[in-house]
């Protein structure tokens, strides 16, 4: 985007609880694997790294519990899922398992991101994996009514999403802005 957006509309991620459950399942699999290594392995190096992985996860969760109440930016689960796969790859040499865990961790992080619609004088950027940009000339109509954002494209595609109630936008002002932009093309 060449300049800052005139409007930023937040779209709620309605599947957050499902993604968190999947993250906890992945985390539980890591912990079960580390516990299995602690029980079965006789190599001191593997015991040390399994204990390190469990301890580091506990530290992440303690930091989240004590510091995260004030600052919701720290996520112990996400930090654990970022780090634990590399113990499997570099310390236990379970490369396939570790790479699979990295892929699942990246998917978890991507699924947790917030969705925003950015609207500027030049373009409208809709939420997608890499953000789809559309010039005003591609749009037939753009309206916000009763918390429902609707983008009607000239190629007969339609984008409709409920907006986040916690981040309200003045609908009349927004719709007048969009009407003016659409008239200018």
Q: Residues 16-26: what's their mean pLDDT? A: 89
pLDDT digits (tens, 9 = 90+) for 112-132: 888 899 999 999 999 887 778
CA 23, CA 150: separation in Å to the nearest integer? 32
The reply to whether 36 and 68 lie within a common domain is yes
pLDDT of amino acid 80: 86
pLDDT digits (tens, 9 = 90+) for 58-86: 888 888 777 766 666 667 788 888 889 99
Would you mind telling me the total number of residues written for the chain in this entry? 185
pLDDT of amino acid 40: 92
Domain of 82, in residue numbers: 16-111
The reply to whether 78 and 34 lie within a common domain is yes
pLDDT of amino acid 68: 63
pLDDT of amino acid 165: 87
Q: What is the pTM of this model?
A: 0.71
Beta bridge partners of residue 117, listed in sequence order: 9
The answer to the question of residue 152 being in a domain is yes
The reply to whether 130 and 145 lie within a common domain is yes
pLDDT digits (tens, 9 = 90+) for 88-114: 888 888 889 899 999 999 988 888 888
Q: What is the mean pLDDT of the chain?
A: 87
CATH of the domain at 159: 2.30.29.30
- pLDDT confidence of 176, banded at 50, 70, 90? very high
The reply to whether 103 and 141 lie within a common domain is no
Q: Is the pLDDT of residue 1 over 60?
A: no
pLDDT of amino acid 114: 83
The reply to whether 147 and 104 lie within a common domain is no
pLDDT of amino acid 2: 45
Q: Could you identify the residue written with the tokens 């996860």?
A: 57
The answer to the question of residue 63 being in a domain is yes
pLDDT digits (tens, 9 = 90+) for 135-153: 999 999 999 999 999 999 9
Per-residue 3-state assignment (H helix, E strand, C coil) for the chain = CCCCCCEEEEECCCCHHHHHHHHHHHHHHHHHHHHHHHHHCCCHHHHHHHHHHHHHHHHHHHHHHHHCCCCCCCCHHHHHHHHHHHHHHHCCCCHHHHHHHHHHHHHHHHHCCCEEEEECCCEEEECCCCCEEEEHHHEEEEEEECCEEEEEECCCCEEEEECCCCCCCCHHHHHHHHHHHHHHC
């Amino acid at each position: 985007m060449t300049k800052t957006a005139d409007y930023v509309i937040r779209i709620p991620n309605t599947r957050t609880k499902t993604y968190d459950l999947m993250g906890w399942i992945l985390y539980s699999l890591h912990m079960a694997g580390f516990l299995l290594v602690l029980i079965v392995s006789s190599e001191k190096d593997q015991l040390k790294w399994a204990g390190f992985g469990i301890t580091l996860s506990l530290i992440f969760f303690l930091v989240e519990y004590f510091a995260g109440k004030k600052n919701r930016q720290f996520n112990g689960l996400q930090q654990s899922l970022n780090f634990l796969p590399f113990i499997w790859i570099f310390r236990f040499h379970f490369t396939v398992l570790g790479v699979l865990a990295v892929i699942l961790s990246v998917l978890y992080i991507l699924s947790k991101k917030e969705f925003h619609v950015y609207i500027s004088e030049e373009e409208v950027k809709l939420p997608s994996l890499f953000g789809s940009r559309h010039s005003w000339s591609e749009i037939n109509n753009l309206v916000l009514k009763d918390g429902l954002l609707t983008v009607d494209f000239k190629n007969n595609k339609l984008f409709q999403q409920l907006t986040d109630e916690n981040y309200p936008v003045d609908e009349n002002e927004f719709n007048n802005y969009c009407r003016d932009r659409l008239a200018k093309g």
